[in-house]
Amino acid sequence: MRKMPLEKRGITSSRLALGCMGFGGNWDRSPLSDDEVLKTEKAVDAALSTGITMFDHANIYTMGKAEEAFGRVLQGNPSLREQMVIQSKCGIRFADDIGPGRYDFSKEHILTSVDEILKRLSVDYLDILLLHRPDPLMEPEEVAEAFEQLKSSGKVRHFGVSNMNQAQIELLEAFMDETLIVNQLEMSLNKVDFTDEGVHVNQEAGLSVHFTSGLMEHCMRNDIQIQAWSPLAKGIFSGNSSIELTESEAQTKKLVAKMATEKETTLEAIVLGWLMRHPARIQPVLGTTNVQRIKDSADAIRISEIMTREEWYELYVSSRGVKLP
């Protein structure tokens, strides 16, 4: 069985990661409550108990309170740090009295952001730092200088990006001594296309088409870990009844339920297992704080190993409402 790129580098063997965007409470400047810290602690415990040891943050999540809540958990049990791989992201800035909502990959902003992240998380270093979405004004030389300073100071061990294409990755790496090891993309059963045939259909439906331009192959060839954010598609195939489904999505929801019954597993495991079945060894980032949902996702590892080629394509074709070839 092919190893995950991160596993090849000896960083982690955690096939799933827990996304921490939901920690901390509301997206405002209100103080962090003890209840939110307890909620975070329960989610972290649930993740670790199911073998999830990788945790994904960003400095903007709940206006910094997500990292603060996580840091409070680590303060209460410092030994947990050595069981974890912690990554965070920076580069997005909300509208303020200086300017509108924007991206900022300046050296000053990256360095300041990391210092603030480490303080909130109550840790000495990040295992991985990601640039949060592309910045049109990115100066690759400046990013490289920031990364070099963070690496030499011991504050960050590895670096990656999110939502970037092949050209953007190659531009950054041309100025760096470091290799980018992660690319985090929006991916789910109804939000990714692997073939050219479905491009026009999926563009009309507003679906992502990341992998028709060679990005998947580039990441696989260079051992860049593809991480999938929003891998459960807001739960439309696994219990969320508040979203109006297209005809193809409704049919796919029935198919997911049928497969879950046949394989004696959860709906989440089928949806995640489909992504993880791909030979790129995609690592889903679970965006939930629900303890039961975290546990229900754990069987995705087994499902990814037993899902047949025919079952994979059955879900793929159903979710798009098109036939192949």
List pLDDT tens digits, range 60-107.
999 999 999 999 999 999 999 999 999 999 999 999 999 999 999 999
For residues 313 and 261, is the Cβ–Cβ distance under 8 A? Answer: no
**Separation CA 204–CA 206 (nearest Å):** 5
Token pair for residue 248?
């193809």
The angle at the Cα of 259, spanning 257 to 261, to the nearest 5 degrees, equals: 70
Using a pLDDT cut of 70, give the percent of the chain over it: 94
Tell me the C-alpha to C-alpha distance, in Å, between residue 82 and each of 43, 53, 310: 18, 10, 41
Domain-by-domain residue ranges, the chain? 5-186
Confidence band (pLDDT; 50, 70, 90) for 212? Answer: low
Task: Tell me if residue 16 falls in helix, strand or coil.
Answer: coil
Confidence band (pLDDT; 50, 70, 90) for 15? Answer: very high
What angle, rounded to 10 degrees, do the helices at 309-320 and 247-262 form?
160
Q: What integer pLDDT is reported at residue 206 of this predicted model?
A: 37
Q: What is the pLDDT of residues 278-318, one digit of tens each?
A: 999 999 999 999 999 999 999 999 999 999 999 999 999 99
Active-site annotation holds for 61: yes
Q: What integer pLDDT is reported at residue 84 of this predicted model?
A: 98
Fold of 5-186: TIM Barrel (3.20.20)
Confidence band (pLDDT; 50, 70, 90) for 260? Answer: very high
How many other CB atoms sit within 10 Å of the CB of residue 255? 19
Overall pTM surpassing 0.85 (yes/no): yes
Task: Tell me if residue 179 falls in helix, strand or coil.
Answer: coil
Residue 131's identity, in one-letter code, is L
**Separation CA 304–CA 308 (nearest Å):** 9
For residues 90 and 120, is the Cβ–Cβ distance under 8 A? Answer: no
Choosing from 61, 103, 313, 316, the catalytic residue is 61
What angle, rounded to 10 degrees, do the helices at 34-49 and 65-76 form?
70
Token pair for residue 19?
């996304």
Give 68's contacts (C-beta < 8 A, 6+ positions apart).
24, 32, 120
For residues 233 and 187, is the Cβ–Cβ distance under 8 A? Answer: no
**Separation CA 104–CA 89 (nearest Å):** 12
**Separation CA 188–CA 201 (nearest Å):** 17
**Separation CA 181–CA 12 (nearest Å):** 12
**Separation CA 310–CA 274 (nearest Å):** 11
How many other CB atoms sit within 10 Å of the CB of residue 307? 20
Q: What is the pLDDT of residues 164-211, one digit of tens each?
A: 999 999 999 999 998 999 999 999 998 876 654 433 333 333 334 445
| Strands (DSSP E) found in the chain | 17-19, 54-56, 85-90, 92-93, 102-103, 126-131, 156-162, 180-186, 225-229, 283-286
